[in-house]
């Protein structure tokens, strides 16, 4: 069994490396590899070398690094615990272990026992865990709390990741067995959920009590490091967090001796988990097949450019967003189709409700915290902070929104043959395809603009920001928003049509350093094009506002500038659309594969 696994993994790895090295002969992969290689060198190695050459960091920096490491551990632990809790709260219909479809096809009918298959699964994940441990050491080598060697830090990470992996596998196997026997399945799950809730509540209550007693625990980076350590060491948190302290013990050990001492309970816990997993008699095959099919479908959807559906449930038929009579502009048919598609993927009811709840929760919970700060500083910070968040979100929507809202030509790439048989000029088809994401991104921007215009300087301390200027600015931005969104969407669609090979890298994950480089180049290209597109309009607007506000006032000057901006952006959009349509007419995906 072990021999077969090693053969499979090593041969696959070797062939993957050969394949990736061979494709470096193609310029697009070579350029991608060079760019990503330079990025990694300068970001991870060069900077680290510079830091080392500068000597021991200052205490404040050390403290900040300590906090960063603690947050990193929390960032690893919380999702893992949530994942395990989720497995108990909402297990799949058939819980199973994670195998690929090919592994299922070859190994399930092979003469192996269930126990062998479990070992195969565990050993498979060990390869990924070892690789991840090394990556974590490489990526976070700058943040060294203990000064331990890289090998010890890597082993520390290996213990953490292996324990979580075994625990999750054990949970899935146990759920699978309970589901199979049918005995007390719901009852045990409820008990487990109650235990998780109680455990989380115990942590929150203990931590809250400690923070109340030591209000300076979160006061600035210098005190926070020591404060967090004190918090973790306080009673009863010290005992509540015992399992996590055991798991993270080797990672946080001070020196080799402490490390080996910490390894004893950590390995003991790991061994207990292994015994639990390997001795659980569960019929996991059906669950594993369902899981593999779901993962394959998610992967296929990701390649098509779809986002994973929340909860992974099958899509349900929805009513059209508006009636679609056969008469009228055919472009509207694409808007109708793509809005329908968005409502099934990106904007499901659950996603919208969840997003609104998160925003409301954050807004409400932020207010009392900021009120304390406002009392101390004597000014209102709530409005400006909300305005700042809206501004940041709007900028992200403009720059990253077109990469997420792909319900346009990009999403219809698999149906390109069909689209090309439609009796429409290229530009009209492209226009129709771009309408839905433009509308959605514009709506988001409008909400941001409205909130921002109310929240910014809500106390009215900026003299020139009169209600007139506020309204004029908001209206001008609202008018420019759809055109700019449209332009931003033309860019990735044009990239897909003129460089489908490059575009493919942006709709997949992983794929090696060369694809990472391609994605970086595409991202930078998008930013550059956005800057070039916005430059003439911005310059014109600045000139008009600066020169005209003295004669006609700021508000009217903004309106005049907005009209000029609209004209420039509109012209650019028209040229871009025409060009995209022309390229679409000549687009031949089959020539890419030759």
- The residues binding another protein (CB under 8 A) are 306, 314-318, 320, 324-328, 330, 332-333, 336-337, 340-341, 343-345, 412, 414-418, 420-425, 585-586, 588, 590-591, 594
**Min CB(308)–another protein separation in Å:** 14
Closer residue to another protein (CB): 136 or 340: 340
Closer residue to another protein (CB): 311 or 326: 326
Q: Are 236 and 220 in contact (CB under 8 A)?
A: no
Exposure string (b/e) for 397-407, b if CB count within 10 Å is 16 or more?
bbeebbbebbb
Q: Are 135 and 157 in contact (CB under 8 A)?
A: no
**Min CB(316)–another protein separation in Å:** 8
Q: How many other CB atoms are there within 10 angstroms of residue 581's CB atom?
A: 18
Closer residue to another protein (CB): 340 or 440: 340
**Min CB(527)–another protein separation in Å:** 31
**Min CB(477)–another protein separation in Å:** 32
**Min CB(403)–another protein separation in Å:** 20
Q: Where are the alpha helices (DSSP H) in 41-112?
A: 47-53, 59-89, 101-107
Nearest to 491 by CA among 519, 526, 457: 526
Closer residue to another protein (CB): 261 or 333: 333
Closer residue to another protein (CB): 172 or 494: 494
Cα separation of 340 and 422, whole Å? 20
**Min CB(584)–another protein separation in Å:** 11
Q: Are 381 and 374 in contact (CB under 8 A)?
A: yes
Cα separation of 11 and 48, whole Å? 34
**Min CB(322)–another protein separation in Å:** 11
Closer residue to another protein (CB): 68 or 333: 333
Exposure string (b/e) for 488-513, b if CB count within 10 Å is 16 or more?
bbbbbbbbbbebbebbbbbbeeeebb
**Cα first-last separation, the chain:** 40
Residue 325 gets which letter from DSSP?
Answer: -
Closer residue to another protein (CB): 244 or 579: 579
Closer residue to another protein (CB): 36 or 577: 577
Backbone angles phi, psi at 317, to 5 degrees: -60, 140
Closer residue to another protein (CB): 1 or 416: 416
**Min CB(215)–another protein separation in Å:** 53
Cα separation of 239 and 590, whole Å? 63
**Min CB(578)–another protein separation in Å:** 16
> ∠ CA 573-521-481 to the nearest 5 degrees?
30
């Amino acid at each position: 069994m072990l021999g077969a696994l090693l053969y499979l993994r090593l041969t696959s790895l070797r062939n993957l490396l050969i394949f990736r090295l061979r494709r470096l002969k193609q310029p697009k992969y070579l350029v991608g590899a060079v760019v990503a290689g330079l990025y990694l060198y300068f970001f991870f190695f060069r900077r680290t070398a510079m830091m080392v050459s500068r000597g021991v960091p200052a205490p404040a920096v050390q403290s900040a690094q300590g906090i960063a490491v603690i947050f990193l551990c929390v960032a690893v632990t919380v999702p893992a615990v949530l994942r395990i809790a989720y497995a108990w709260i909402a297990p799949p219909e058939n819980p199973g272990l994670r195998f690929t479809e090919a592994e299922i096809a070859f190994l399930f009918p092979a003469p192996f026992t269930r126990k062998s298959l479990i070992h195969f699964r565990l050993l498979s994940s060990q390869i990924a865990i070892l690789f991840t441990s090394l990556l974590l050491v490489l990526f976070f080598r700058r943040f060294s709390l203990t000064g331990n060697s890289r090998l010890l830090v890597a082993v520390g990470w290996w213990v953490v990741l292996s324990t979580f992996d075994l625990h999750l596998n054990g949970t899935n196997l146990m759920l699978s067995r309970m589901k199979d026997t049918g005995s007390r399945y719901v009852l045990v799950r409820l008990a487990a959920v109650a235990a998780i809730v109680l455990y989380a509540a115990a942590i929150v209550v203990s931590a809250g009590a400690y923070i109340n007693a030591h209000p300076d625990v979160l006061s600035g980076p210098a005190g926070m490091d020591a404060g967090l350590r004190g918090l973790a060491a306080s009673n009863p948190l010290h005992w509540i967090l015992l399992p996590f302290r055991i798991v993270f013990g080797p990672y946080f050990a001070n020196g080799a001796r402490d490390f080996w001492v910490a390894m004893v309970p950590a390995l003991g816990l790991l061994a207990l988990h292994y015994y639990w997993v390997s001795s659980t008699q569960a019929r996991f095959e059906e669950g594993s097949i369902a899981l593999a099919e779901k993962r394959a479908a998610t992967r296929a959807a990701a390649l098509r450019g779809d986002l994973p559906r929340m909860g992974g449930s099958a899509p349900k038929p929805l009513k059209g967003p508006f009636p679609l009579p056969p008469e009228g502009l055919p472009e509207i048919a694409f808007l109708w189709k793509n809005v329908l598609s968005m409502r099934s993927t990106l904007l499901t009811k659950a996603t919208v409700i969840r997003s609104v709840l998160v925003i409301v929760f954050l807004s409400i919970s932020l207010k009392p915290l900021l009120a304390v700060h406002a009392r101390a500083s004597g000014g209102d910070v709530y409005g400006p902070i909300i305005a700042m968040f809206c501004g940041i979100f709007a900028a992200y929507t403009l720059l990253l929104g077109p990469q997420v809202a792909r319900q346009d030509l990009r999403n219809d790439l698999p149906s390109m043959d069909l689209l090309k048989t439609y009796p429409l000029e290229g530009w009209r088809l492209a226009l129709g395809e771009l309408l839905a994401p433009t509308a959605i991104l514009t709506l988001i921007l409008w909400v941001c603009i409205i909130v921002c215009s109310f929240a910014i300087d809500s106390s009215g301390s900026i003299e020139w920001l009169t209600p007139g200027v506020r309204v004029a600015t908001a209206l001008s931005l609202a008018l420019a928003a759809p055109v700019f969104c449209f332009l931003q969407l033309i860019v990735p669609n044009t990239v897909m049509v003129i460089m489908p090979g490059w575009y493919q890298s942006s709709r997949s994950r992983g794929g090696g350093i060369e694809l990472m480089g391609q994605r970086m180049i595409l991202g930078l290209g998008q930013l550059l094009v956005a800057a070039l597109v916005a430059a003439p309009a911005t310059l014109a607007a600045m000139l008009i506002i600066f020169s005209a506000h003295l004669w006609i006032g700021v508000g009217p000057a903004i309106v005049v500038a907005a009209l000029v901006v609209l004209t420039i952006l509109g012209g650019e959009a028209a040229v871009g659309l025409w060009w995209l349509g022309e390229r679409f007419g000549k687009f031949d995906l089959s020539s890419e594969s030759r």
